[in-house]
Amino acid sequence: MDVRELLERVKRGDLSVDEGVNILRKLPFEDLDFAKIDHHRKLRRGMSEVIFCEGKTKEQVLKIFEHMLQSDAVNIIGTRASKDLYEYLKEKIGDEILYYEDARLICLRRREGIKNIKGHVSVVSAGTADFSVAEEAAVVLEILGNNVKRIYDVGVAGVHRLFPYIDDLQSSSAIVVVAGMEGALPSVVAGLVSKPVIAVPTSVGYGANFRGVSALLTMLNSCSSGVAVVNIDNGFGAAVFAHMINSLVNGNL
C-alpha cells in the first residue's frame, strides 16, 4: 500500500489507527524466511515488486502472491511463469489472475496503471523467434499503463519492412528493440530516429550466437548513439526502463 494512501484512509476513518499501525509493521519489507517482500518498492520506484517465478516452487510463488494481496499491492506481476504455474495459482487464488502465454507472464490487476495518453512506446522485434521476449516487454509496458505500438518481424535481413513505421518510431517516447542472431537491428533503428533505444539481445541464433552473447556484444558496440542495452532475453528490464522514460516525458513520474 502507498504510504500516502494509507494515511489518507486513516484520516478519513476508513482504517483505524491500530489497523494502520499493523500495516506499517510490515514496512519496509516482510520476511517470509525464503523471501523478503519489498512493500516499499512502489513508494521508492513508482511500481510494486515483481516476482521472478523461474527457480521458485509453486508454493513459494503462491505464498508471495498471497502476502502481496494482503498488503494491497496495485498490480502483482510474475515473469518467466509457466502455464502449469498459472493453472495452480488460478485454482488457489481465483479467475482474476491472468496469464499471457506468449510473454510467459502472470498478472493480478487490481487497478489500471496511469495511462500516458500523450505518448507511446514502440516495441520492435527483428524476427518471429524473438516474439516471446518482445511480448514480455510489451505486456509489462501495458500493465504499467503505457500505450504500446508493436512492430514485429522487421529485422535487417529485410530492412525495408521497417521503413513504413518510421513515423511511429519517431513519435515514440522510447523504443524497445528486440533482436537475436547478430543483433544489428537496434543500431539501425537508432540511426534513423531521435528517440532513446533500449536494446534487448535474445538467445535466438545458431552456435556462434552463443545463446545471445554475440547479439549482446554487437549491441554494446553499437556505433549509433542513444542505445542502452539490457541483459539477454530481459524484456521485463527493457519495459521498466522504457516506462520510466515515457513517464518522465509525460509528467507521470
Domain extent listing, the chain: 3-109, 121-249
Name the one residue in this structure whose C-alpha cell is 510489451. 138
Which helix (H) or strand (E) segment holds residue 245: the answer is helix 235-249
Output the CA torsion sign for 125, 244, 99, 105: positive
> For 179, left (φ over 0), alpha (ψ -120 to 50), or beta?
beta
- pLDDT for 141 equals 94
Three-class SS state of 216 = helix
Classify residue 216 as exposed, middle or buried by CB count within 10 Å of its CB (0-12, 13-18, 19+).
buried
Q: Considering just the CA atoms, what is the radius of gyration of the chain in Å?
A: 20
**Could you name the CATH architecture of 121-249?**
3-Layer(aba) Sandwich (3.40)
- φ and ψ of 246, to 5 deg: -60, -40
Name the one residue in this structure whose C-alpha cell is 524484456. 235
Instruction: Show Cβ contacts of residue 228 under 8 Å, excluding neighbours closer than 6 positions.
Output: 196, 197, 198, 199, 241
Beta-strand pair 75-79/51-52: parallel
The tens place of each residue's pLDDT in the chain, 253 residues long, gives 567 777 888 889 888 888 877 776 666 765 566 666 666 666 666 677 788 989 999 999 888 888 777 765 667 889 999 999 999 998 888 878 899 999 999 998 766 555 555 689 999 999 999 999 999 999 999 998 899 999 999 999 899 999 999 999 999 999 999 999 999 999 999 999 999 999 999 999 899 889 999 999 999 999 999 999 999 999 999 999 999 999 888 766 5
Length of the chain: 253
Three-class SS state of 128 = helix
Alpha-carbon distances of 146 from 29, 105, 107, 244, rounded to whole Å: 28, 17, 16, 10
Name the one residue in this structure whose C-alpha cell is 512493500. 39
What would the DSSP string read from start to end of 176-187?
A: EEEE-TT--HHH
d(C-alpha 130, C-alpha 173), whole Å = 22
d(C-alpha 97, C-alpha 82), whole Å = 14
Q: Calculate the CA dihedral of residues 205, 207, 208, 214 and round it to 10 degrees.
A: 40
First to last CA, the chain: 18
